[in-house]
Chains A and B, each alone.
Chain A
Amino acid sequence: DQQVKQNSPSLSVQEGRISILNCDYTNSMFDYFLWYKKYPAEGPTFLISISSIKDKNEDGRFTVFLNKSAKHLSLHIVPSQPGDSAVYFCAADGGTSYGKLTFGQGTILTVHP
């Protein structure tokens, strides 16, 4: 039972354009969502998060949008840069007293110069 899904295994965009990565979840108990970025041979690094009490959080070029009614979140990267090329994972926290994260399968983003 995949509670967090990233249905696009890959995404290719041109440098300077917007990258939109999508994530869907099924568990209504999730109340905190995170995006991690992973380069080959490295562990994931935290990128941005959003609480379920918000619908948008912005940090520089990165913005995460949350649509609770649709159980959908998205990560926007504007403008995209070649260094953004990596695997992006969305993750959800179930509101327990600790961060037991449930991850999606990841989306490979490639930004072409």
Chain B
Amino acid sequence: DAGVIQSPRHEVTEMGQEVTLRCKPISGHDYLFWYRQTMMQGLELLVYFNNKAVMDDSGMPKDRFSAKMPNASFSTLKIQPSEPRDSAVYFCASSPRQGANVNYGYTFGSGTRLTVV
């Protein structure tokens, strides 16, 4: 399995521009997560999906961020307009369905390093 695939690996954009981050989860994984990592805040959960449906987006600034999962093998995180404070590494992760007394951790993608200037 190729693992969780994210693109692009690096993105540099100007303030005010639209940025789209992409993720392909591991085939068969029902859960998909978007996290943001900065030195100051660590890993913050932005949104997660279960079977393509948004389960929790309370960590996502909804005025500028949007997340979609149109099918089981693809998700996007869009920032519009981007701001310098959005500069961070954005990780996508996926996980199999949970079972009774079965605890799966996440498999993370390589991340997208976003710089907004």
Bound pair: A and B? no
Show the binding face of B for A, using Cβ within 8 Å: none
Show the binding face of A for B, using Cβ within 8 Å: none
